[in-house]
Structure 1
Amino acid sequence: MFGRSLEKAYIEVLAGVRQGTRIKVLFNPAEYSLERANAYKATALPGLGSPLIQFVNGDAATLSMDLFLDDWTDPNGPPSDIPLLGGADGAKSVKDRIDEIIALLDIDRTLHAPPPVRFVWGPLRFEAVIEKIGRKTSLFRPDGTPARASLSISFKEFRAAFDICLESPDKTKRRQIDVSESIWTIADKEFGDPRRWRVIAAASDVDDPRSLRPGDWLRVPPLEVSNALNRTQ
């Protein structure tokens, strides 16, 4: 165990013009915080001493940590009269390291959004977008350039749209018809096929789809129910 080399943490860019770039941290974090929560809706009903609690959705997990940067221990640090530690691998100044990480908050020209990243440290692999970065500088070179700093980074769990499984055991949803919608457009949005309007009509007890008006409510069954009913038609 003690004979192993130190596993270095890094941030990997997953998409955009910098896809595949790995940013190694100078020092592994001393600790990190991983939080996850669920969102619930409280509905008050007359005659009850407490509201009904209904699950709404799961919130994205958040990974938070502080990264320490110091030119005095960086191979490309301050003047030669200051003793340096470490080797020549990844030789970058504190300023360079700060700029490289903060640039992950910039909008990528091909994604039109900041790029998703993956934080990797041993068994920990966390795919996310960087939500915020706080910087505290505690030491400077004579010209004012940062020589020692800490970055407080918050990663928000990221899941691409194509990773979401449409074939799910979710309960039937209720959809209100908008002014610009019809039962056919809703079927197209929910199931990818406007011909599946009959599935929604059957679940909503609608005999004449042309009688529907904006503001009316429809019941949309799960996709696997739609698939089963569609095969029988």
Structure 2
Amino acid sequence: MLSELLGGAPVRAALVIYDPPTGAGTSPGPERGRVKLQFNPERVRVGKQAVWDRSRAPSNGEAARAQFVGAQPRTMTLDVFLDASGPGPSVQDQVEKLLDCCAPTARSTASKPASAPWVRLAWGHARTTAFLALVTRVDAEYTRFGHDGTPLRAQCAVSLEEVGGTVPRQNPTSGGDGPVGTHLVVAGDSLAGLAWQAYGDPGRWREIARANDVDDPARVPVGTVLVLPVLEERVAGGAG
């Protein structure tokens, strides 16, 4: 059956919203809320762009050799459908929560530097779309209203941009600096399980523990954001 091929019952996606880090920190603050998607996105668009410089053109008319300048942050766009037919926050409250992600939090404004909340699309074991990001744009279109004018349904187009710094890698065993990504610990998680999901080897939980200064792998609090580091390639038949 199709449900078996797709892995059983669908996992509901949510846009998790965090306080921005204080000062020059690189990890998000505590979770400040989430927008639970009533319907999972039908499509999510992820993009990344490299910048190349060809200004040093040769005099013989040939095309200039490209010089790598840098990599732009990942971007992602997704549609969020909100409806007031079920229990939970109102459509207006959910839209306001998304719009608030485009402005600095009061705490960050007071402490400097000012920063908007950080967000992450949490959707089961998806990793390519699970990077920490800033909301750059929200377009909400209300499509249904109550008799008193209260919005009852909305379609929101949400644009995200990676917060920057070290970027996730596609191949977790390709070597080099930087994390594969991040993971928000939920009930039932284990470092061995995360190592299996990220690297295909549960025995590499020690590298995750080392990268996050975890002393007791059996006592990682729910809500902790773990960095999943890039690992050096193991050489078959090598010493030690």
Which residue in 1 is equivalent to 2:117?
115
Is 1:60 the counterpart of 2:60? The answer is no
Quote the Cα distance in structure 2 between the aligned partners of 1:23 and 1:135.
Answer: 14
CA contact (8 A) 1:134 1:153 kept: yes
Is 1:137 the counterpart of 2:149? The answer is no
Structure exhibiting the larger radius of gyration computed from Cα positions: 1
What residue ranges of structure 2 are gaps of 5+ in the alignment? Answer: 22-28, 109-113, 169-175, 178-240
Quote the Cα distance in structure 2 between the aligned partners of 1:60 and 1:96.
Answer: 29
SS in 2 for 1:45: coil
What residue ranges of structure 1 are gaps of 5+ in the alignment? Answer: 76-90, 170-233
Deviation at 1:6, TM superposition (A): 3.2
Matched residues, number: 148
Deviation at 1:143, TM superposition (A): 2.1
SS in 2 for 1:96: helix
Deviation at 1:138, TM superposition (A): 1.5
Deviation at 1:47, TM superposition (A): 1.6
Q: What is the identity percentage for the equivalent residue pairs of Structure 1 and Structure 2?
A: 24
Which residue in 1 is equivalent to 2:182?
none
Which residue in 2 is equivalent to 1:156?
161
Provide closer, same or farther for how the CA distance between residues 142 and 101 of structure 1 changes in structure 2, counting only shifts above 3 A. same
Which residue in 2 is equivalent to 1:48?
61
SS in 2 for 1:52: coil
CA contact (8 A) 2:145 2:153 kept: yes
Deviation at 1:99, TM superposition (A): 1.1
Matched AA of 2:103: D
Quote the Cα distance in structure 1 between the aligned partners of 2:60 and 2:20.
Answer: 55
Quote the Cα distance in structure 1 between the aligned partners of 2:148 and 2:165.
Answer: 44
CA contact (8 A) 1:74 1:92 kept: no
Is 1:92 the counterpart of 2:89? The answer is yes
Which residue in 1 is equivalent to 2:30?
19
Which residue in 1 is equivalent to 2:189?
none
Quote the Cα distance in structure 1 between the aligned partners of 2:81 and 2:116.
Answer: 23
CA contact (8 A) 1:42 1:54 kept: yes
Deviation at 1:8, TM superposition (A): 1.2
Is 1:39 the counterpart of 2:45? The answer is no
CA contact (8 A) 1:74 1:93 kept: no
SS in 1 for 2:131: strand
CA contact (8 A) 2:20 2:115 kept: no
Which residue in 1 is equivalent to 2:191?
none
Which residue in 2 is equivalent to 1:190?
none
Deviation at 1:151, TM superposition (A): 0.5
Provide closer, same or farther for how the CA distance between residues 22 and 138 of structure 1 changes in structure 2, counting only shifts above 3 A. closer
Deviation at 1:26, TM superposition (A): 2.0
SS in 2 for 1:100: helix
Q: Provide TM-score, normalisation by structure 1.
A: 0.57
Offset from partner CA, 1:36-77 (integer Å, 9 cap, x none) = 111111122322322231111011111111111122x322xx
Quote the Cα distance in structure 1 between the aligned partners of 2:19 and 2:58.
Answer: 48
